[in-house]
Amino acid sequence: MAAHAVAQDLVRTLRHQIAKIEGRLAERLDERQEAASQELDATGGKDMLPIGVQRLDAALGGGLPASGLAEIHGHASRDAGAAAGFALALVRLLAQEKGVRPLLWVGTADIFREAGRPYAPGLTARFGLSPENLLVAEAEKLTDVLWIAEEAARLDAFQAVLLEIRGNPPVLDLTATRRLHRRALLAGLPLFLVRAAGEPEPTAAPLRLTVAAAPAAPRLTLAGPLAGSIGPPAFRVTIGKSRTAIHAAFTLEWIDDAFRERRKHSATDTVPVVPLPPRGPAVAAAAGKGLAGAGARRDAAAGVQPAGEQYAAHRRLRRTG
């Protein structure tokens, strides 16, 4: 009995500490947490954004969490283009899934100085993000940036929040990321924490992807790939941390508002790394597993029954979407 009372006392003390951290009343914390975890069970656990690449989706357990914090890292500040580009591609996928809403891109003033500012014509052309759907917020101090992100993370009026930070500032610790994660979860909003030149460190984000640029495939013309040209952007994506915890690397290409995986990695541009779009069911079957995700979609569109192995993936993709 006494041990029970002591344990209860301990729990109460801890709750008060948590309440102090979160800046709320301890009495409210209990039911709030319960509601939050219920909601998390209802949506956060299941609501996934399929990336559209079968192997990657399988490795991530169905895709990207459609709400909450997700970290996207780049090795150096030179990779800010690739990391931000990958995040914007994900935002585009979200927009296709859920309808277009404004995106908030918030960052410290130094990251925008160091890695460049968002450039509207490029964003529109490549990621279909029109200028009126983009808000760019910046502040000198990281605490102000985090404040903006936290305030935005509770608004479900946004499509997503892109929080861009350079390096590993001590302010953005486990507590700060947990606050962000929690708010984004409650609002059902994805919050991409884009970190150029950041070392992996413990955060509350359930997922961390490391993104680097990969050599792009040559442009496709009617006469085949054009030698020496630079085609659509390609990314080298490594799963750094995931709930399903499969460490793997993928090379993705962003072609016509969808991701495709490139299996055979080739830096030379004489070999066509992306096969031509199949023109009929026979060609699609011949394309084989290498194009499983894309092939399955196309088959479905053509009204052809996919192969047994592809079928399951195909069904799951449809149902969750």
Rounded Cα distance, 239 and 298, in Å: 27
CB of 226 closer than 8 Å to CB of 214? no
What is the distance of C-alpha 179 from the center of its chain?
Answer: 18
Instruction: Give me the 195-234 binding string for another protein, x by CB under 8 A, dash otherwise.
Output: -----------------xxxxx-----------xxx--xx
Q: Does 120 bind another protein (CB under 8 A)?
A: yes
Identity of the residue, 135 or 246, whose beta carbon is nearer to another protein in the bound complex = 135
| CA terminus-to-terminus distance, the chain | 51
The minimum distance between CB 252 and another protein, in angstroms, equals 11
Q: Give the closest residue to 44 by CA, choosing from 242, 184, 169, 139.
A: 184
Q: Does 144 bind another protein (CB under 8 A)?
A: yes
- One residue of 69, 70, 72, 123 binding another protein per CB under 8 A: 123
Residue indicated by tokens 């359930």: 206
CA distances from 220 to 66, 217, 224, 273 (A): 32, 9, 6, 10
- One residue of 138, 150, 253, 299 binding another protein per CB under 8 A: 138
- One residue of 124, 168, 238, 320 binding another protein per CB under 8 A: 124
Q: Does 165 bind another protein (CB under 8 A)?
A: no
- One residue of 32, 55, 78, 263 binding another protein per CB under 8 A: 78
Identity of the residue, 156 or 309, whose beta carbon is nearer to another protein in the bound complex = 156
Identity of the residue, 106 or 193, whose beta carbon is nearer to another protein in the bound complex = 106
Structure token digits, residue 100: 């277009």
Task: Kindly state the number of chain residues that form the binding site for another protein, as judged by CB under 8 A.
Answer: 60
Rounded Cα distance, 95 and 108, in Å: 25
The sign of the dihedral angle between the CA atoms of 252, 254, 256, 259 is: positive
- One residue of 51, 53, 70, 88 binding another protein per CB under 8 A: 88
Q: Give the closest residue to 297 by CA, choosing from 258, 246, 269, 239.
A: 258
Rounded Cα distance, 192 and 163, in Å: 6
Q: Give the closest residue to 134 by CA, choosing from 144, 148, 149, 124.
A: 124
Identity of the residue, 161 or 317, whose beta carbon is nearer to another protein in the bound complex = 161
- One residue of 192, 250, 254, 259 binding another protein per CB under 8 A: 254
Q: Give the closest residue to 147 by CA, choosing from 102, 189, 174, 180.
A: 180
Q: Which residues are paired to 133 by β-bridges? A: none
- One residue of 47, 151, 201, 257 binding another protein per CB under 8 A: 151
Identity of the residue, 1 or 270, whose beta carbon is nearer to another protein in the bound complex = 270
CA distances from 246 to 21, 74, 148 (A): 33, 19, 33
Q: Does 250 bind another protein (CB under 8 A)?
A: no
Q: Does 237 bind another protein (CB under 8 A)?
A: no
| Interface ranges with another protein (CB under 8 A) | 78-82, 84-86, 88-89, 101-102, 112-113, 115-127, 130-132, 134-139, 144, 147-148, 151-152, 155-158, 212-216, 228-230, 233-236, 254, 267, 269
